[in-house]
Amino acid sequence: MKRLLAVGWVMLAPSWAVASGFECLLEPWQVVEVRAPVDGMIATIAVNRGDTIRKGQALVTLQSEAEKSAVESAAYRSRMEGQIAAARNRIDYATKKLARLADLQKQNFMSAQGLDEADAEKRLAESELQSAVEARELARIESQRAKELLALRTMTAPFAGVVVDRMLNPGDLAESGSGRKPVLKVAQIDPIRADVPLPASMFGQVRTGTKAVVTSTVGGGRFDAIVRSVDRVIDAASGTFVARLEIANPRDLVPGGSRCNAVIEGLTPPSRQAGPRP
């Protein structure tokens, strides 16, 4: 039965897809080490090794009681109306007082100095209102900053994928910085990539968008692929350049980490190319 299936695949597949291909390695599209952006004690870790994650999912939280209190305090200050109300009342009083003194001054019952003092009092009240409004706006900005600082205490998944490893546990100290120990290592496995080293003699013969078929050493599965990028510089040491293939993996059928064989449409390995006739 297996032999019949194999023969059927060969009959249905394009001629280029059954040719001998190039060696490659199936790898996650990207692997990221999740580190804490700030120092702190780990409160919870929501995933374990091998778990599936979705983009934006909360993975790790640090202890954040102080930051939560700062958010509440800043939010309350941004809503306070007392200083603004007081300043408006003073403006109202100063405006009425100035109007009364202006009437008295017209009747020569008030000196110009008294009128100037009332006008200055009104201007001071207006300045106090402006200061109160600016203080509330500053409190709003500080409230937003406090929320952002609190958000730094939660590490989320940068993409949908799987947890490759878990290095720390709740109660451990998570330290920020690239040289510090990460909390988790996560990998994006949809799509999977296969980097195919090609000889320098083939430089310029492969284009992005070219179709390919990748055969996994583990399990022998065959998967459709497409060339997503091609090196524009040849590695002088090895005399090769790399074509990166993208393989859709929505059902997690492609075995990441397995060696593979890639057949790229329009390319024939040098060993199969016809040599010059004697």
Kindly report, residue by residue over 29-54, the tens digit of the pLDDT: 999 999 999 999 999 999 999 999 99
Compute the 3-state secondary structure of the chain and give helix, strand, coil in percent, each to the nearest 5: 35, 30, 35
Pick the more confident residue, 202 or 271.
202
Q: Tokens 């120990």 correspond to what residue?
A: 181
Give the Å distances, CA to CA, from 80 to 69, 74, 92, 135: 17, 10, 20, 10
Q: What is the pLDDT of residues 65-84, one digit of tens each?
A: 999 999 999 888 888 888 88
* For the chain, percent of residues with pLDDT exceeding 90: 59
Mean pLDDT value across the chain: 86
Residue 149 has pLDDT above 50, yes or no: yes
Average pLDDT over residues 190-197: 94
Residue-level pLDDT at 271? 62
Residue 160 backbone phi and psi in degrees, to 5: -80, 135
Report how far residue 153's alpha carbon sits from residue 135's, in angstroms, rounded to the nearest whole number.
Answer: 28
Report how far residue 141's alpha carbon sits from residue 147's, in angstroms, rounded to the nearest whole number.
Answer: 10
pLDDT band at residue 1 using 50, 70 and 90 as cut-offs: very low
Pick the more confident residue, 20 or 122.
122
Domain spans of the chain, in order of start: 14-62+163-268, 65-151
Report how far residue 97's alpha carbon sits from residue 118's, in angstroms, rounded to the nearest whole number.
Answer: 7
* For the chain, percent of residues with pLDDT exceeding 70: 90
Residue-level pLDDT at 3? 39
Report domain 14-62+163-268's class: mainly beta
Pick the more confident residue, 249 or 100.
249
Q: Do the Cβ atoms of 242 and 202 come closer than 8 Å?
A: no
